[in-house]
Copies of this chain bind each other. A is one copy, B any other.
Amino acid sequence: MKPSWDPPATRPSPTTIRDVAAAAGVSLSTVSKGLNGTGQLREETRQRVLQAAKRLNFRPNDLAQSLLRGRSFTVGLISADRYGRFSIPILEGIENALESTRMSVFLCNAADDANREREHIEQLLAKRVDGIIVTGRRSDPRPPLEVSAHSVPVLYAFSQVSDSKALCLLPDDVGGGRLAGEHLIAAGRRRIAHITGPEDFEAVKHRCAGLKQAVEQNSLPWRVDDVMSGPWSEMWGRYAVDDLLDRNQKIDAIFCGSDQIARGAVDALRDRGVRVPDDVAVVGFDNWQIIAAETRPALTTIDMNLHELGRQAGLRLLGMINGEDQQSGVIRLPCSLVTRESCGASRPVQPFARDNTLEGLA
């Protein structure tokens, strides 16, 4: 079979700066000045260099440039997120921040495995990346990256270390919890249950604390019995609702620690004939489209704005790389409320298939 590319032995060399110099009839240093816009050069000469470079499809070799400048124009993003649910929006945000530079962001996936993470770091350092951003599946403190503090700027996004010199960007989970509580109270709800994830997650403690602030600032009673902590799953949401209602708790709202839990809660409420939002309003957390939009009714939920978190991480890393920015500590970025139907908003449900055919296939 004919190969789709030439094997190494016969692969032609890419165009070099020498080819451009020959084609433009100038010296190597004139080509360099022309392409980099440096030094003294007549406009006519500069144009000749640029046209020759374009004609020959000359691609400046970043590798060689990197070596000269001691930079690779590459940022490594280390992820531990097997599903990409958190890391892909963060990656997109970082790329957005670096768009105007010539820098690339490369994601490598450590999948929560310390050995793989170490290998990835070795490889990134050997490639002389300009900076590393570490992200995670949860915001709790993790061991700092095993990178000498002096070799390369590192920051943590949606991930946290207990090193006070490190810079960590995290969602403001307390603010997110408060936002959910305030929205429910503004909608007239007076007794808000909280069904959430495992207690050992910092995010679980923070979201609960935020809800408590909203409840107490509105002079409503805070009831410990209405807070239930369990696994991050729909099944837990269903179980917890059954337990709450079996205990005959007179709740009129539930704030759930994740959209998955909220979906289970909404399903269990419907199974018992409790109307959402009329009898019980529900707010989730994550704004995970695939879950939130498909729940019946669709979930009002808190968005952690991970794209913006990634963008901020990119901008701050760029500052560190350029030696402009000397930040450390934990920075919390605001969450926002996304309104759908589960809380009493009046947005109509989208018809399912306006622009799709319903005909058979075979």
B165-A4 in contact (CB<8A): yes
A62 to B11 CA separation, bound complex (whole angstroms): 22
Q: Is the beta-carbon distance between B1 and A196 smaller than 8 angstroms? A: no
Q: Are A88 and B84 in contact (CB under 8 A)?
A: yes
Contacts of A239 in B (CB 8 A): 352-353
CA distance in complex: A88, B87 (Å) = 10
| Residues of A in contact, count (CB < 8 Å) | 106
Complex interface: chain B residues within 8 A of A87 (CB)? 84, 88
Docked-complex contact B106 and A360, CB < 8 angstroms: no
Residues of chain B contacted by A189 (CB below 8 angstroms): none
A348-362 vs B: 1/0 string, CB under 8 Å? 000011001111111
Cβ 8 A contact of A150, one of B5, B106, B149, B194: B5
Among B11, B127, B166, B361, point to the contact of A199 (Cβ < 8 A).
Answer: B361
Map CB proximity to B onto A121-165 as digits: 1 under 8 Å, 0 otherwise.
011111110000000000000000000111111100000000101
Residues from chain B with a CB closer than 8 A to the CB of A85 are 83-84
Are B353 and A4 in contact (CB-based, < 8 A)? no
A350 nearest CB across to chain B (Å): 9
Contact with B along A1-39 (1 / 0, CB 8 A): 111111111011010000000000000000000000000
A337 within 8 A of B: no
Collect the chain B residues with CB atoms within 8 Å of residue A107's CB: 91, 106-109
The complex places the Cα of A102 from the Cα of B9 at a distance, in Å, of: 21
Q: Mark A193-236, 1 if CB is under 8 A from B, else 0.
A: 01010110000110010001000000000101111111101111
A326 at the interface (CB under 8 A from B): yes
Tell me which residues across on chain B come within 8 A of A124, comparing CB atoms: 104
Is A63 at the interface (CB under 8 A from chain B)? yes
Task: List 24 A–B pairs whose Cβ atoms lie within 8 Å, in order of A's numbering.
Answer: A1-B328, A3-B327, A4-B166, A8-B322, A59-B122, A63-B66, A63-B128, A82-B88, A82-B92, A104-B106, A105-B108, A194-B361, A199-B357, A205-B361, A225-B360, A227-B361, A229-B356, A229-B358, A230-B352, A230-B358, A233-B294, A233-B352, A239-B352, A260-B290
In the assembled complex, the Cα of A205 lies from the Cα of B361 at a distance in Å of 7
Assess whether B88 is in contact with A83, with CB atoms less than 8 Å apart: yes
> A residues 323-362 with Cβ under 8 Å of B?
323, 326-329, 352-353, 356-362
Tell me the bound Cα distance from A166 to B4 in angstroms. Answer: 6
B83 & A72 in contact (Cβ 8 Å cutoff): no
Closest to A2 in B: B165
Q: Which residues of A (274-296) have their CB < 8 Å from a CB of B?
A: 290-291, 294
A117 at the interface (CB under 8 A from B): no
A106 close to B109 (CB less than 8 A) = no
Q: How far is the CA of A294 from the CA of B263 in the complex (A)?
A: 10
Judge if A61 is at the interface, Cβ distance under 8 Å.
yes
Q: Which residues of B contact A6 (CB under 8 A)?
A: 150
Nearest-Cβ distance from residue A128 to partner chain B, whole angstroms: 5
Is the Cβ of B323 less than 8 Å from the Cβ of A154?
no
The answer to whether A128 touches B224 (Cβ under 8 A) is no
Q: Is there contact, CB below 8 Å, between B260 and A12?
A: no
Contact of A109 among B14, B91, B120, B163 (CB under 8 A): B91
Interface residues as binary, A32-64 with B (CB distance below 8 Å gives 1, 0 otherwise)? 000000000000000000000000010111111
Report A309-327 residues with CB < 8 Å from chain B CB: 320-323, 326-327
Residues of B within 8 A of A251 (CB): none
Q: In this complex, which of A62, A128, A227, A236 has the most chain B Cβ atoms within 10 angstroms of its Cβ?
A: A62
